[in-house]
Structure 1
C-alpha cells in the first residue's frame, strides 16, 4: 500500500514538473521531436501540400495542438507524435499512400478517412509502426491486397479498412496478433474464403465485419468459438450452415447475414437477450421462427424475408409485412393468418 502511494505521488510530481517546465519554455523552443516533424512535413509534401494542411507550418511546433490531425504524447519528455487523424483532404490529383507516414515510430492511432484521391496499395513498410493500436483507412481508393506485414504489428487492437478498393484474400495471419479485438473490411472487393485461422482470434475478439465483398465458400466451423458482439457477413457469396454464431449465453448485439446462400434451421438456434439487429434476408434459411424472438426487448431491426421459413410468426408488433415477405409458408400477423 505504501509503495503504491509513493509510486502515484512520484508520478504526480513528475507530471507537475513536466507541466511547470512547459510553461517556462522560451518561445523559440519546440517540444516536437525533430524526426517526427521532418516526417510530417514530408507527408504534407507527398499529399501535394493540400490547403487543409496549411496549419502544418514548419516555423511552428507540431506538438502545440494547432497542426490539424496531429496529437503528441505530452506526458513524457520525448513528445512523440502518437495520433495522426487526417480526413476530407481535397487532393487535386491521385496520390499514393504517403510513405513517410511509416516514419512515425511512436504512432498509436492512424486514421485516413474520406480522401477519394488516395490511391495505390498500403505499403509493406506499415510494419514499421510497431506501436500502432488502431488503424483506419476508410472511404478512399486504396487498392491492392491487405499487406501481409500487417500481422507483424503485435500491438494492433482494431483494423478498419472499409469502403476502399482492396482486392485479394483475407489475411489469414491476422489471427496471430495477440491484442486484436476486431476487424472491419466492409465495402471492398476481397475474394476467396474466410480463413480457418479466424477461429483462433483472442478470446476478447468481438467484431467481425466483412460485408459487401466477394467472399465465397463455407464459413469455417471454428469461428463458432468466437464470442462476437457484432457480426456482419452480408452481401457476399457465402454458403452453408452458420448456426454456430447464434448463442444465448453471450453478448451479441448485431447479426447481419443478408444476401448470401446460408442454409440452416433457424428454429434450433439460441438467441442472445441483448440482440438489437437480426438481418437474415435473401438466404436459404428454413424452419420456424423461434418464440424467443418475442422476448428480445432490445430488438429494433429484424428482416427474415426471402428465405424458406414456415410456421407462426411470434408476437412481434414492431415489424411490418416486408420483414417477413417471400418465405415458403410463414403465417400470422402481419402476414395472413395461419390455416387451422
Structure 2
C-alpha cells in the first residue's frame, strides 16, 4: 500500500471520529454493559467502530432534541444471554438516561443494583419478565424524576418500600406477579395527586388496605390474588375518577351496599372474597361498565336491573349467600 493510500485512510478514520455524535463516556459505558452481560449476540450491533447515536445500535437512542446527543433511552429486551447474569451496575454510568427497559430475559438474575439510584434523570423504569430477585430497593426514592415504575413478573420478594410515596412525579406502580409480602404501607395513601395507577396483583400481600387510601384518586387499582383482608371500601367513592377496581381472590370483608361508585367505573372484579351486603343500586347508572364479577362472596338481595347490568350472566353472581333476581332465580 502506498504512503498516499495510508495517509488517505488515516484522514478518513480521523474524520469519522470527529463526526461521531455519540458521547465517548456514554459509548464506553454501553460497551462495558455489553461486556458485563457476556457480549450477547443480541447486542452485536454495539461496535467500537460505529456511532452509538446513528440508530444502528439496537435499543439505544440519543437526545437529538437538545442536540447534546447523550444516550437517554436504553431498551435491553429479549437478551439471549450466554449464561445467567445480573443487571450490570455499569448502567449507572449513563447519567442522562430518561427511559430504561430490561424485559423478557429469564436468564437475568440477581438483585436490582443500588447503583441505579445514580440515574437522577430517569423517568421510566421497566424491569419485567426476568428472574431478578431480592427486595425493591428503597434507594429508588432518591430518583425524584421517576414517573413510572414497572417491576412486573420477576421473583422480587420482601416488603413494599414505604419511601416510594415521597416521589413527587410518580404516576403509577406495577409490581404484579412477584413474591412481595407484608402489608401495604400506610404511606401509600400519601402519593401525590399525579398518582393514578397501582397494580400489585399476584403477590403475597397480607393485612388490611390502609385507611389512608381514602385520600387517593386512583383510576386503576389491581390488588387481586393476594391475602388482603378487611375493608376495601376506601377505594370507592362517587367523587373519585375510578375506572377499574380489581380485588379478586383475597379475604376482603365489607358492606358493598354502602359504597359510592365512580360514574366512570368500567370494570369491577370482587370475586372470591367475603364481601357482604347488597349490590349498590348505582350500578345501573354506570354507562361504561363492561366487566363485572362478584361471585363467591356473601352478598344478598335483589340484583339491580337495567343499564349495563343486563349484559352479565350467572357466572358474575354465582355462589353468593342469597343474591336473587335475573339472571339468577327470582326473589321469593
Report TM bin, short chain. Answer: over 0.9
**Structure 1 residue 308: Cα displacement:** 0.4
Q: Look up the SS of the partner of 1:93 in the other structure.
A: coil
Q: Look up the SS of the partner of 2:76 in the other structure.
A: strand
Distance across 1 between alignment mates of 2:209 and 2:76: 35
Q: Which runs of 4+ in 1 moved over 2 A?
A: 75-78
TM-score (structure 2 length as normaliser): 0.93
Provide the residue aligned with 1:106 in structure 2: 96
1:294 aligns with 2:284: yes
Q: Look up the SS of the partner of 2:315 in the other structure.
A: helix
- 1:174-213 equivalence runs, <5 A: 174-213=164-203
After superposing the two structures, state which structure 1 stretch, 116-125 or 75-84, moved more. 75-84
Provide the residue aligned with 2:10 in structure 1: none
Provide the residue aligned with 1:121 in structure 2: 111
Provide the residue aligned with 2:226 in structure 1: 236
Q: How many residues align?
A: 315
Distance across 2 between alignment mates of 1:75 and 1:329: 62
Provide the residue aligned with 1:91 in structure 2: 81
Provide the residue aligned with 1:56 in structure 2: 46
Provide the residue aligned with 1:7 in structure 2: none
Provide the residue aligned with 2:330 in structure 1: 337
Provide the residue aligned with 1:161 in structure 2: 151
User: Are 1:50 and 1:91, in contact at CA under 8 Å, matched by a contact in 2?
Assistant: yes
Q: Look up the SS of the partner of 1:135 in the other structure.
A: strand
Q: 1:150 aligns with which of 131, 135, 140?
A: 140
Provide the residue aligned with 1:22 in structure 2: none
1:218 aligns with 2:212: no
Provide the residue aligned with 1:311 in structure 2: 301
Question: What whole-Å deviation, never above 9, does each CA across 1:53-94 have from its counterpart, x for those lacking one?
Answer: 111122111011111111110123431110111211122311
Question: What whole-Å deviation, never above 9, does each CA across 1:17-36 have from its counterpart, x for those lacking one?
Answer: xxxxxxxxx54421111010
Q: Which runs of 5+ in 1 are unaligned?
A: 1-25
After superposing the two structures, state which structure 1 stretch, 84-93 or 148-157, moved more. 84-93
**Structure 1 residue 100: Cα displacement:** 1.1
1:285 aligns with 2:275: yes
Provide the residue aligned with 1:11 in structure 2: none
Q: 2:122 aligns with which of 132, 143, 146?
A: 132
Q: Look up the SS of the partner of 1:122 in the other structure.
A: coil
Provide the residue aligned with 2:36 in structure 1: 46
Instruction: Please tell me the root mean square deviation across aligned C-alpha atoms, in Å.
Output: 1.2
**Structure 1 residue 235: Cα displacement:** 0.6
Q: Look up the SS of the partner of 2:115 in the other structure.
A: helix
Q: Look up the SS of the partner of 1:337 in the other structure.
A: coil
Distance across 2 between alignment mates of 1:92 and 1:305: 47
Q: Which runs of 5+ in 2 are unaligned?
A: 1-14
TM-score (structure 1 length as normaliser): 0.90
User: Are 1:213 and 1:236, in contact at CA under 8 Å, matched by a contact in 2?
Assistant: yes
Distance across 1 between alignment mates of 2:38 and 2:327: 57
Question: What whole-Å deviation, never above 9, does each CA across 1:292-321 have from its counterpart, x for those lacking one?
Answer: 112212111111000000111122121111
Question: What whole-Å deviation, never above 9, does each CA across 1:124-182 have from its counterpart, x for those lacking one?
Answer: 11111000011010000000011111111111111111000001000001111111111
**Structure 1 residue 265: Cα displacement:** 0.8
Q: Look up the SS of the partner of 2:282 in the other structure.
A: helix
Distance across 2 between alignment mates of 1:80 and 1:254: 39
Q: Look up the SS of the partner of 2:107 in the other structure.
A: strand
Provide the residue aligned with 2:252 in structure 1: 262
